[in-house]
């Protein structure tokens, strides 16, 4: 009966053309994007009656996350035909808690999203602020409702509206979810990013919650923010005790401001026609001591592709790659680098890499090491030193726990300096790899084999070839997923790839060469 009554009310509202809207502004700030608890805003309510009917109303009420308030500005009004009634609450205080989705996935180890029972039937959380106006029209009692909106000027779309949401006063996050420390080292540097959602000046103290026996400098850092949207980064130097096991340890960032603690950050996801939602993530970082070694101190350059975090993830190995520009690729002396890494999908998104591929092969021919991460079919034009085929629909191995077989267990890339075993493929995330080669010249040596259930064995995911005095590697394994998440075995195998320049000087990299 309630549903039927609501449908009848909606029909009357539509026939009369009644329109209720509500939005917020600030006397001190040009726009209001979000609100935090304690904000004082101006609330505007507008009821338009374009019909020829006379309307009576007893006023309005505001629902803040389930708590109904009747401001003093509310009051009985009579709205004539073709008239508009407006109310303004000059000092409307936000008391609702942060607007958090009823579903969450804290990290990639969690296979499915968790949902709270109160939201299982909804895709998004309900709007936290609603205005209701009861009216009498032609003797019929009806209640109009409207979501309280923000009004923001978009550079492309002009004025846009989104439901007003509440966010934490201070948001914080780690740039990376995880990291490693090579065994034998005790120092670990970890940055924490902070952002203020407060509209005025505020101060926050940030610290790390550490495992027992761990210490860091600074122990606590005070940050001043002048306005909403201000950001800051604090770098903590963590000292790890000698007697720690090879397991992940959690570091938690905590900010304190105005008597409150904050331990999460959020990302705002916006679609013009679908609205806006804030996705929250705990400010937690995992670090693990790993038995990994890198031979020498290779000079590494990086040709970025479509976007990955591999270059930044090499810092624990003591490697800071030089990011090569188009001009560098076209004319710089590449021989100063021991290794050049090519990022994911680089041949698809960078015409300059395709155009100057001959320079990269010349670099290998004269002693360089070129490591190509996974590429898409745009790469399927024999950009390597010898022929290969990827195919229009390259194979990928999506089961992250698929068995990996070492085809050449004594190959230097699988032994030096880290002896690779099946254990190094434990704990991988989301997939083994993507865009495997299907056929290749026998001067390439495949090193690994893996496959999904029901899939033919795939050997085209890690191939190495001698070319002139250098080494060419194609690796479709998902380094861009594993390294940023601190997978120990991925670091050990990638360290072997970066050690190839030293390996070449100490032993022969076994490849088929004719």
Residue-range definition of the domain harbouring residue 414: 293-506
pLDDT exceeds cutoff 60 at 512: no
Mean pLDDT, rounded, of the chain:
92
* pLDDT value of residue 169: 96
How far is the C-alpha of 169 from the C-alpha of 197, rounded, in Å? 5
Q: What is the pLDDT of residues 60-104, one digit of tens each?
A: 999 998 889 898 888 888 899 999 999 999 999 999 999 998 888
DSSP SS3 for 480: helix
Residue 76 dihedral angles phi and psi, to the nearest 5°: -65, 140
Q: What is the CATH number of the domain that holds 192?
A: 2.60.40.10
Same domain, 246 and 311: no
Same domain, 297 and 344: yes
Boundary-marking domain end, from 163, 188, 212:
163
Residue holding tokens 């992250």?
Answer: 400
CB–CB of 328/297 below 8 Å?
no
Same domain, 115 and 218: no
Residue holding tokens 């009823």?
Answer: 102
User: Mean pLDDT throughout 152-177?
Assistant: 92
Q: Which helix (H) or strand (E) holds 7?
A: helix 2-16
* pLDDT value of residue 507: 55
CA dist list (Å): 261 to 99, 128, 168: 17, 22, 10
Same domain, 233 and 143: no
Q: For a pLDDT cut of 70, what percent of the chain falls above it?
A: 98
Tell me how many domains the chain contains: 3
pLDDT exceeds cutoff 90 at 273: no
Query: Is 74 among the domain residues?
Result: yes
Q: What is the CATH number of the domain that holds 500?
A: 3.40.50.880
Same domain, 9 and 32: yes
Query: Would you state the torsion angle of the CA atoms of residues 456, 461, 466, 467, taken in this order, to the nearest 10 degrees?
Result: 110
Same domain, 156 and 191: no
Higher per-residue pLDDT: 78 or 452:
452
Same domain, 177 and 320: no
Q: What beta strand segments (E) does 138-273 contain?
A: 140-154, 158-163, 170-173, 178-182, 187-196, 202-209, 215-217, 221-225, 231-239, 249-257, 260-262, 264-271
Q: What is the pLDDT of residues 20-43, one digit of tens each?
A: 999 999 988 888 999 999 999 999
Residue holding tokens 């970025």?
Answer: 304
pLDDT exceeds cutoff 70 at 486: yes
Q: What DSSP state is assigned to residue 377?
A: G
Query: Is 337 among the domain residues?
Result: yes
- How many other CB atoms are found less than 10 A from the CB of residue 202? 20
Query: Is 513 among the domain residues?
Result: no
Q: Which helix (H) or strand (E) holds 136?
A: strand 129-137
Query: Is 256 among the domain residues?
Result: yes
Residue 212 dihedral angles phi and psi, to the nearest 5°: -55, 135
CB–CB of 479/432 below 8 Å?
no
How far is the C-alpha of 434 from the C-alpha of 481, rounded, in Å? 11
Same domain, 301 and 277: no
Query: Is 514 among the domain residues?
Result: no
Same domain, 379 and 415: yes
Same domain, 126 and 237: no
* pLDDT value of residue 514: 38
Could you tell me which residues come within 8 angstroms of residue 474 by beta carbon, excluding any fewer than 6 positions away? 372, 384, 388, 437, 444, 462, 463
Choose among 305, 315, 256, 249: nearest CA to 494.
315
pTM of this structure:
0.85
Alpha-helical (H) ranges within 387-471 are 412-415
Q: How confident is the model at residue 182 (pLDDT cuts 50, 70, 90)?
A: very high
Pairing of β 264-271 and β 260-262: unpaired
Query: Is 511 among the domain residues?
Result: no
Boundary-marking domain end, from 163, 193, 217:
163
Residue holding tokens 């290779």?
Answer: 298
* pLDDT value of residue 513: 46
Same domain, 46 and 150: yes
Boundary-marking domain end, from 163, 182, 210:
163
Q: What is the pLDDT of residues 215-236, one digit of tens each?
A: 999 999 999 999 999 999 999 9
Query: Is 512 among the domain residues?
Result: no
Q: What is the pLDDT of residues 318-369, one digit of tens each?
A: 999 999 999 999 999 999 999 999 999 999 999 999 999 999 999 999 999 9
Same domain, 439 and 320: yes
Query: Is 37 among the domain residues?
Result: yes
């Amino acid at each position: 009966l309630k549903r039927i009554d609501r449908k009848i009310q909606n029909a009357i509202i539509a026939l009369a053309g009644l329109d209720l809207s509500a939005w917020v502004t600030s006397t001190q700030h040009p726009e209001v994007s979000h609100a935090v608890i304690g904000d004082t805003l101006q609330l505007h309510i507008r009821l338009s009656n374009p019909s020829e009917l006379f309307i009576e109303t007893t006023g309005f009420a505001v629902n803040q996350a389930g708590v109904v308030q009747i401001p003093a500005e509310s009051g009985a009004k009579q709205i004539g035909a073709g008239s508009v009634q407006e109310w303004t609450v000059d000092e409307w205080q936000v008391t609702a808690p942060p607007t958090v989705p009823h579903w969450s996935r804290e990290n990639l180890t969690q296979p499915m999203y968790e949902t709270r029972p109160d939201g299982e039937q909804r895709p998004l959380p309900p709007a936290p602020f609603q205005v209701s106006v009861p009216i009498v029209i032609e003797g019929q009692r009806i209640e109009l409702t409207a979501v309280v909106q923000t009004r923001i000027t978009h550079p492309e779309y002009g004025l846009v509206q989104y439901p007003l949401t509440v966010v934490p006063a201070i948001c914080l996050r780690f740039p990376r979810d995880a990291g490693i420390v090579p065994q034998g080292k005790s120092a670990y540097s970890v940055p924490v990013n902070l952002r203020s959602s407060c509209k005025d000046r505020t101060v926050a103290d940030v610290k790390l919650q550490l495992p027992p026996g761990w210490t860091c400098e600074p122990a606590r850092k005070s940050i001043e923010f002048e306005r909403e949207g201000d950001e800051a980064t604090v770098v903590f130097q963590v000292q790890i005790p000698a007697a720690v096991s090879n397991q992940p340890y959690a570091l938690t960032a905590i900010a304190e401001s105005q008597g409150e603690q904050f331990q999460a950050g959020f990302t705002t996801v916006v679609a013009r026609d679908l609205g806006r939602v804030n996705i929250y993530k705990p400010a937690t970082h995992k670090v693990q001591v790993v038995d990994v070694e890198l031979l020498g101190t290779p000079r590494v350059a990086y040709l970025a592709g479509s976007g990955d975090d591999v270059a930044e993830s090499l810092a624990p190995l003591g490697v800071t790659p030089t990011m090569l520009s188009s001009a560098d690729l076209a004319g710089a002396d590449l021989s100063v680098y021991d290794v050049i890494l090519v990022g994911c999908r680089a041949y698809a998104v960078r015409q300059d890499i395709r155009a100057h591929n001959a320079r990269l092969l010349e670099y290998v021919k004269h002693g360089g090491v070129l490591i190509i991460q996974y590429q898409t079919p745009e790469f399927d034009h024999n950009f390597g030193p010898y022929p290969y085929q990827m195919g229009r629909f390259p194979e990928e191995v999506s089961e992250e726990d698929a068995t990996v077989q070492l085809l050449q267990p004594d190959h230097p890339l699988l032994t030096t300096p880290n002896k690779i075993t099946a254990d190094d493929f434990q704990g991988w995330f989301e997939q083994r790899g993507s865009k495997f080669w299907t056929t290749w010249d026998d001067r390439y040596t495949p090193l690994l084999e893996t496959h999904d259930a029901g899939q033919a064995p795939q050997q085209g995911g890690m191939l190495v070839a001698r070319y002139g005095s250098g080494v060419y590697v194609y690796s479709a394994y998902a380094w861009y997923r594993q390294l940023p998440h601190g997978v120990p075995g991925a670091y050990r195998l990638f360290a072997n790839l970066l050690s190839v320049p030293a390996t070449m000087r100490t032993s022969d990299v076994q490849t088929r060469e004719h």
